Amino acid sequence: MLHHTVWVTTGDGHLHPAPCTPAEHLWWGNGWGDRPSEAATVVDALLDDLGATLNLREHWKAPKGLTALFNEDHKQATELTRSTLLHARMNPPRAR
């Protein structure tokens, strides 16, 4: 869910703020740390392992489809399903 902080709902229904690195906080929207590639990097790792250790130093290497999805203008509190995230990860945007 995108609401200031990026939130993650786990399969058991628990809601958690998206993890980040010890020195950073992952935000959504205008302001600091809101790069779509950072959110894409975190989501990419969490899709494979909810206990993943995160490293945002190379956030520009995030899957292009996820980065494009997070670069779209989403309303506050938008919820993106796992299937939507997986689809975006596997389907980079088409060149124009």
Give the orientation angle of helix 36-48 with respect to helix 64-71, to 10 degrees.
Answer: 130
Q: How far apart are CA 63 and CA 43, in angstroms?
A: 10
In three-state secondary structure terms, 9 is: strand
**pLDDT of 29:** 57
Per-residue pLDDT, 8: 86
Q: Which residues of the chain have pLDDT under 70?
A: 1-5, 21-34, 96
pLDDT at 45: 93
pLDDT tens digits, 23-44: 666 665 554 455 788 889 999 9
Q: Nearest-CA neighbor of 58 among 77, 47, 42, 81?
A: 42
pTM across the whole model: 0.81
